[in-house]
Structure 1
Amino acid sequence: MDNARAHQADSLNVPDNVILLFQPPYCPEVNSIERLWHDLKRALAWMRFESIAQLQQAITRWVNQLSPQEVKSLK
């Protein structure tokens, strides 16, 4: 759990077989999706797009080139 304000609740029913692990607040180094966003932004940094459709196509191409090992490493 990343401790973001939007991700907090007054009450939560956690099953007995679930352990909640809390990340330090504002710690993108341990948040898998942040690593993915970093790589995507780096790949698209100097590209110029004439339309949102072109941007979407570039993102789709980038995502499709990810190997199963790269996706699995995001855990």
Structure 2
Amino acid sequence: MIIIIDNAAFHSLSKYTLPDNIILIRVPPYSPELNPSEKIWLYIKQHYKNNVFVTLDNVKQWLNDFLKIHF
């Protein structure tokens, strides 16, 4: 698993020992342009904004279908 965090003080993990299967990637604080997951969310939001969902299940289904098609 890869976890991307910025180096904001409240995201400090220095007191925790991470398991070997977790890779921690640190980016500078307040730099969302350097965080690849932010680009994915931006892409999703651009396609999501014109949809109306009645239930949470509809949102989950749309997101699942979207990710299968685009990623």
Name the structure with the higher strand share: 2
How far did 1:53 drift? 0.5
Q: Unaligned stretches of 5+ in structure 2?
A: 18-23
**Which residue does 2:44 correspond to in 1?**
40
How far did 1:25 drift? 1.0
Q: Which runs of 4+ in 1 moved over 3 A?
A: 9-13
% identity of equivalent residues: 26
Matched, 1:49 2:17: no
Amino acid of the structure 1 residue aligned with 2:9: R
If the length of structure 2 is used for normalisation, what is the TM-score? 0.68
If the length of structure 1 is used for normalisation, what is the TM-score? 0.65
Q: Unaligned stretches of 5+ in structure 1?
A: 14-19, 68-75
Give the distance between the partners of 2:25 and 2:53, measured in 1 at CA: 40
Q: Whose Rg is larger?
A: 1
